[in-house]
Copies of this chain bind each other. A is one copy, B any other.
Amino acid sequence: MKTFYDCIPCFLRQALDAARLATSDETIHERVLHEALRVAAEMDLRQSPPAMAQQIHRAIREWTGKNDPYLEIKNRFNSMALELYPVMQGWMADSDQPLETAMRLAIAGNVIDLGVKTRLKEGEVRESILNAMSAPLEGDIGEFTSAVRRADEILYLADNAGEIVFDRLLIEQLKPAKVIVAVRGFPIINDATLEDAKEAGIDAVADVMENGSDAPGTILRDCNESFCDCFNRADLVIAKGQGNYETLSEESRDIFFLLKVKCPVVAKHTGCQEGTMLLTRTAI
């Protein structure tokens, strides 16, 4: 997906949020904002939004000297999700359709996206989870179920910290396929890294790999060789969240995307209302 004009104000807001998380030094906030304006003015709109965000967040790290401004927030949402986990395990145990229930919970967890909304409240996550069981899920669940059942090897592209705890419920339902969970190679916004995957216990239920990139999405030319091999080899790719959708929606292999639609640009691109729980796939 290309970058739309509406993404530009959002990048600037995100840059300012990240700069403030990294430092209280206002001169650095101003430098970051000016750098973001410069990047925005020179950008190539044919790039995806995460490619642009990648550039801006690199500048923020360089100028603030903070490698991971969202670390505290990531830890907070991991803890929160782990507290909710036993409750959700109970729902899973009671479910007649555990794959669908797990899909719904994994999509509900995608609300934990600090790129879209920095001041996300824990209550909003709880609300998303509570609504997940009854809210409409757009997409062909039967098609997804068949693809899962046919696959011997599934590559699961994680999205955010906290959210990855919810992903674990779905990953467990993908068996007997061998599941490989890919996380970002470096900290970027609140995207899940290897530490978050371990914190969520993903390594107990699947193989975990880093994709080698610091983009808040999956830019294949930026990922390491072992990730790309796995991406090309897997029978099925499941990609979580807007960042992975924005970077992979036009790829020429079959990918199922699971996401909560959280901004007007993705809403328009997918043809869904904001707030929609969405299962969609590449048009191949």
Residues in B neighbouring A12, C-beta threshold 8 A: 8-9, 12
Q: What is the distance, in angstroms, from A274's C-beta to the closest C-beta of chain B?
A: 12
A8: B residues at CB distance < 8 A = 12, 16, 33, 37
Within the assembled complex, what's the spacing in Å between the Cα atoms of A8 and B37?
Answer: 9
Once the chains bind, are A30 and B16 in contact (CB under 8 Å)?
no
A64 CB → nearest B CB, Å? 15
The reply on A29 being an interface residue by CB < 8 A is yes
Instruction: List which A169-218 residues lie within 8 A (CB) of chain B.
Output: none
In this complex, the interface size class of chain A, counting residues with CB under 8 Å from chain B, is 10 to 19
Mask of A1-34 contacts with B, CB within 8 angstroms, 1/0: 0000110111011001000000000000110011
Whether, in the assembled complex, A40 has its beta carbon less than 8 Å from a beta carbon of chain B, the answer is yes
B30→A41 contact, CB < 8 A: no
Complex CA gap A41/B38 in Å reads 7
Residues of B near A16 (CB, < 8 A) are 5-6, 8-9
A6, closest chain B residue (CB): B16
Let me know if A37 and B30 touch, CB within 8 A: no
Inter-chain contact B10/A9, CB cutoff 8 Å: yes
Task: Provide the residues of chain B in CB contact with A38, threshold 8 Å.
Answer: 41
A34 to B29, CA, bound (A): 21
Partner of A41, one of B6, B9, B34: B34
- Contacting pair B5 A33 (CB below 8 A): yes
Indicate if the CB atoms of A9 and B5 lie closer than 8 Å: no
A34 to B37, CA, bound (A): 10
A95 to B45: give the CA distance in the assembly, Å.
Answer: 56
Tell me the complex Cα distance, A16–B5, Å.
Answer: 8
A41 — which chain B residues lie within 8 A by C-beta? 34, 37-38, 41
Shortest Cβ distance from A264 into B: residue: B119
**Shortest beta-carbon distance from A29 to chain B in Å:** 6
Q: How long is the Cα–Cα vector from A6 to B36 in the complex, in angstroms?
A: 13
Which of B9, B29, B30 is in CB contact (< 8 Å) with A13?
B9
Chain B minimum-CB-distance residue to A32: B5
Give the chain B neighbours of A9 by CB distance below 8 A: 9-10, 12-13, 16
Instruction: Tell me which of B5, B6, B10, B29 contacts A30 (CB under 8 A).
Output: B5
Residue picked from A6, A37, A38, most chain B C-beta under 10 Å: A37
Alpha-carbon separation in the docked complex, A37 to B29 (Å): 17
Please give the residue numbers on chain A whose beta carbons come within 8 Å of chain B beta carbons, in ascending order. Answer: 5-6, 8-10, 12-13, 16, 29-30, 33-34, 37-38, 40-41, 45
| CB-CB nearest 3 A-B residue pairs | A9-B13, A9-B9, A9-B12
A-B contact pairs, 8 of them (CB 8 A): A5-B16, A5-B29, A8-B16, A9-B16, A12-B12, A30-B45, A37-B37, A37-B41
